[in-house]
Structure 1
């Protein structure tokens, strides 16, 4: 699936949690979650990313059973009430949650631990044949912002992602079913995030599909002198446009409409540039 992407894909975030950093509690009720999915569909979303555990800095882990109780009814409702063909990704590090979500109708696994928290998730991806997104993170959400350090953040992130990729391949996941995510904000300082964004081409050069998730992240707030994450929509759209120009193919965002526009305009410009150079 990931090797057949042409134009950029927008992944809309649906956190069915009480404590996510930007929208915690807003979509915990099933009706509210479905209304948000309807809005994202009307705004041109390509993938709905559903998570039942907050991964904000300092957050505690949530048991698999509780995650399943949160995400499965939403996935089932989307399949029964809304667009039956929309791609749904399950945002979890646990194989039990991923399996329950896939059984309910999810199509993609999105693992912020890159398969390190529960290696059985890689076996699950291989056995079911579903695509998996492997993200880089340093430490756990509870501790990841406790003085993170890198000798060379781009090289270090690529090295760790390569370890996740090799583990996935060894488990039987097909190369074309793997995407990678540099994990902006996950165990990174402000400068680390900027360095990764300045070198997205290094991730694209791996040949794997790249997912970028900068949406409403705190490091942009420090640049823009903004404390409310919901005021960082424009900042996020800027990174989406830059990502498209660098060759990134998927973007995980809270605000679909604005980032859909940013991605589409950047893609049109990039296509024009390629045509002119031929």
Structure 2
């Protein structure tokens, strides 16, 4: 769960594959330099011989021509593995992927940045209100444009502005989009912001999506909405009406009702399956393509 802050416009696709020389190696700091570039590592280190280091890297700063480009803090990285990355050329992306493998916070510069969150549920922080930026999603990236410039984001799931939070992980297999669709499917209404934050947090933490569907089904709101259902055929018909906004086709009705009647599927599994069907994904996509607001849980 590291924090990376950029001080100059930066592109995470830029290689940092220079021939480094160790210029400092003490108990709490290691410095490597090469070709006008410098990388400082802070933490707690021990040295096991020539070119061998052990310990923990808690932070690092990268400089070009003595100007700081970015700084990573709040890290917990294996110093030996970082040393391996530093020794090997052509491994910039593997290095970033390791350093930013958790739920990280990314703070861009005042320029045009290309930000990659790599693994985990990552949040990009902006020092302005959401209304002062334009948000636009595409199939492969997300653009955030403000007065200071435009950032391109990949593998970043959430945005934090001074006044609100926006989820941009809205694709078919993304946590944010999955929860938004399921919330709307289960309760036949637009999700409330706090509820989105709660259920997204559950899914981010590894909860099973069918268990989350069952959680919606245990609510009094769901019970009221489906109070007139007396059979599995009625339930599937109601799901089609509330989720897909149409009557069920004969084949679909027979299939889902048959699974429920035979005990081969639970109502929560059917709810999740119809919610995440290609038809519903396509129907909801325009509503959330440029992200949606939520209130973080906790």
TM-score of Structure 1 vs Structure 2, range by shorter chain? under 0.3
Give the structure with the larger helix fraction: 1
- TM-score with structure 1 length normalisation? 0.26
Structure label with greater radius of gyration: 2
- TM-score with structure 2 length normalisation? 0.25
With a CA cutoff of 8 Å and minimum separation of 6, indicate the structure with the bigger relative contact order.
1
